[in-house]
Amino acid sequence: MGDLRLGRLTFPAGRFAVMAIVNRTPDSFYDQGATFAFDRAWRRVEQVVAEGADIVDVGGVKAGAGEPVSEDEEIDRVAGLVGAIRETYPQVVVSVDTYRARTADALCEAGADLVNDTWAGADPDVATVAARHGAGLVCSHTGGLRPRSLPHRVRYDDVVADVVAHTVAQAERAAALGVPRESILIDPTHDFGKNTFHSLELTRRLDALVATGWPVLVSLSRKDFVGETLDLPVDERLAGTLAATAVSAWHGARVFRAHDVAATRQVLDMVASIRGDRPPSAPLRGLT
């Protein structure tokens, strides 16, 4: 595995990156609009940077079904925050969670380094926008599901093979359009176009995605597959999320999109140390 380059940062093989979620939406599934107001969103940014986030991922439209949001409204919600992060925290990678090319273009102009397209190229011009700005791109998988729609009785002959085929094809297309190869990631996109059994299998066999050579991003945080596996509501899914995080890290995922930054960082540091990629911070036992 080679270096992953996003914005001003380089993540060598063996270094995990935490992508903090900041939602400028009134109806997000987890925080229910807790960071919709700009001042609250900014406090969240300050918090996650202090907790060790490498990437801040800002979104202006709820991923699931909900009230329609125009492109102009999405840009208005996000652009100012993107610009403020870029100016205040130049060492942090700024990511934008959008599936629309015009939105991506405006937010890259505002300072975004990475376009997190969670709807699998539904707007094919998103990759062209990323290439024009020299931004990175996340290539995702939804099984053909349209943006902001829910899966219904979805089936795959082999969900892992389907994810590999579609994300790699998007990554190669993006590279051909001019997106820097070292700034392209693939994301199995747990729950999107999938049931809980699919998301569990993707976690169990994540090494198949890692074997493609493209850096793998996982977005596991408090998702329905965790809740359905453990029969727990959203606010009680942290332990299950962290278990899936540890497994994904062991298999070789590189970037972890998370609500709980400090806890995620601790899990990733522990996995890195077990793997031998990170020395213990304060080794004393049996040494003195």
CA pair distance 60, 51, nearest whole angstrom: 23
Which structure tokens are listed for 120?
């699998």
Within 10 angstroms of residue 233's Cβ, the number of other Cβ atoms is 9
Using alpha carbons, select from 26, 4, 50, 34 the residue that is nearest to residue 256: 4
Distances from the Cα of 77 to the Cα of 25, 81, 196, 262, angstroms: 8, 8, 32, 26
Evaluate whether 159 touches 201 at the Cβ level (below 8 Å).
Answer: yes
Among 24, 77, 194, 257, the one annotated catalytic? 257
Q: Tell me whether residue 194 is one of the annotated catalytic residues.
A: no
Among 223, 237, 254, 265, the one annotated catalytic? 223
Q: Tell me whether residue 223 is one of the annotated catalytic residues.
A: yes
List active site positions.
223, 257
